[in-house]
Amino acid sequence: MSSFYEELEKRGEELGMAREEMALYAAKRQGEFTVEDYRRLPDEVRAELIDGELIYMEAPGYKHQELIMELSVELVNYIRANKGSCRVVQSPLDVQLDCDDRTMVQPDLIVICDEKKIVRKGIYGAPDLCIEILSPSTRKKDCTLKVQKYMNAGVREYWIVDPDKKAVITYRFEGEDIPGISMYTFQDKVPVGIFEGSLEIDFQEILGRLRFC
């Protein structure tokens, strides 16, 4: 059994799931799940659906959430100061990345500039910028699988923020056959590519404000 099945079985009864309901998931193999299956999950079970596979997500820690908040503030302040129309949204928010019924992700932080992609249940299509804050349970997925998924879906820029190594990796997919990759530390100012570098996020300044650094 995969970690998703194990978690669902372990927590199913305490979340009030009927055995019949749990059996619906057990009857399918990884790779066969759909957005409809994903939407049936209890709210307390955090998961992503990627190419028909349900992937369990653990609750994030304090440092993870504080970093998201700091980055959100930097992005929102810039957009408002420049009277921009882009929106900044934190997880949990469903993003139907490929506009199909086999993938639903929840990036830690997104910037979405095309309002036509904003729907009642979340985002339908690729955000302009996706940011993931690494944790032990998401490191492999965020650093490998999601790079390819975001690039193929049409995300313009993707950041991986590693609070343990105090590092930032940025991928620029827009207009490139091969993604442009840049690496930074928490001592650097990181340019936001979708704004043509007119916004630089000062990670050293953010680091000084973090409770657990």
151 vs 171: CA distance, rounded Å: 9
119 vs 131: CA distance, rounded Å: 20
Phi–psi pair at 45, nearest 5 degrees: -95, 110
Cβ atoms < 10 Å from Cβ of 3: 12
| Opening angle at CA 147, ends 59 and 206, nearest 5 | 60
Residue by residue, pLDDT tens for the chain (213 residues) are 456 666 666 655 555 555 656 666 666 788 899 999 999 988 888 899 999 999 988 889 999 999 999 999 999 999 999 999 999 999 999 999 999 999 999 999 999 999 999 999 999 999 999 999 999 888 999 999 999 999 999 999 999 999 999 999 999 998 767 789 999 999 999 999 999 999 999 999 999 988 765
Torsion from C-alpha of 158, 185, 91, 107, nearest 10 degrees: 30
| Distance, first Cα to last Cα, the chain | 36
| pLDDT on residue 12 | 56
Where would I find the H helices in the chain? 3-12, 19-26, 35-40, 62-81, 139-140, 146-153, 203-209
| pLDDT on residue 178 | 77
| pLDDT on residue 136 | 86
